[in-house]
Amino acid sequence: MMWLGLAIMIVSETATLAQIEPFWSWNTPIAWTGFIIFADAIVWRARGHSWIRSAPREFLALALVSIPLWLVFEGYNLRLRNWHYTGLPEDPLLRAFGYAWSFATIWPAIFEGADLIAVARGSGWSGGAGGSGKSALPPRALPGFLSVAIGTLMLASPFLVSPAIARYLAAPVWLGFIFLLDPINARLGGESLWADWRAGRRDRLINLVLSGFLCGVLWELWNYWSRAKWHYTVPIMEHLKIFEMPVPGYLGFPAFALECFTMYVLVRRAFTTLGRPIAR
């Protein structure tokens, strides 16, 4: 499976550079599918457990829930107007399929990337596919109310100003869900970044941050030469870019990885008290 995933990435990107269809128009979902297979296989070899091999039903749920979770940010972009798409299929059904496939790879890519980083760093949990998501600290140890208030204000900020000013408020959106949801997750007995920090556990935070950087670079690399792609229209250092992304924008990817964690933990707690430990 490792070699299959690697082959998918190499073939898709090579064909994209040569403008060979369907890869040229579908490079993003194809390459990310290859990455997920590749990373999962390495994690399985190193640990004996992985998302796809050990928890296939939760992995499928993760991919499916990734679609509506990303649509939250697409909704924010209607206000921020920070990116737009070009080269998409003209057929509405085919375009919708492309959106769904691409969006379904986002959360799996972040979490598989974090597990891959954990293997490279020699960190990680030693349990099986399942495990308790409960915080090791009582909820009262967390600055819950203040954090929730800050997160709420961050996420509301683009709607409290004029559209012209809202374009400059991407950062609060890429940080707000961390502050809003992490204390709620802890209160509900879920996994929590703040609880990890207070307990002196840094591995999850580091793995997610590094996965954000890794996935961010790959997103932009695979997007740059694709026919169906996104373009950024951010008003800050718009012309100083690496690939399509203005340089400051790369700082948003680690924060987004942490948001992916807090958002998924909340969704998972709504349906079960158990699940695969994330990014450890």
pLDDT of residue 280: 80
Pick the closest to residue 268 from 278, 279, 258 (CA basis). Answer: 278
Pick the closest to residue 86 from 220, 185, 232 (CA basis). Answer: 232
Question: Measuring CA to CA, how many Å separate 270 from each of 104, 114, 140, 252?
Answer: 20, 23, 21, 27
pLDDT of residue 189: 87
Strand partners for 83:
232
Cα radius of gyration rounded to whole Å, the chain: 19
What are 141-151's pLDDT values in tens digits? 446 889 999 99
pLDDT of residue 124: 63
Dihedral of alpha carbons 115, 117, 67, 37, sign? negative
pLDDT of residue 279: 82
- pLDDT of 132 > 50? The answer is no
How far apart CA 22 and CA 15 sit, in angstroms, is 9
126 pLDDT band (50/70/90 cuts)? very low
| Runs of H (alpha helix) within the chain | 2-17, 23-47, 51-54, 56-80, 92-104, 106-121, 144-156, 163-166, 170-187, 193-198, 203-224, 252-269
174 pLDDT band (50/70/90 cuts)? very high
Share of the chain above pLDDT 70, in %: 92
CA 235 to chain centre: 23
- pLDDT of 139 > 80? The answer is no
In the predicted model, what is the mean pLDDT of residues 68-92? 96
Pick the closest to residue 67 from 95, 94, 100 (CA basis). Answer: 100
pLDDT of residue 125: 52
Q: Are 33 and 105 in contact (CB under 8 A)?
A: yes
In the predicted model, what is the mean pLDDT of residues 71-87? 96
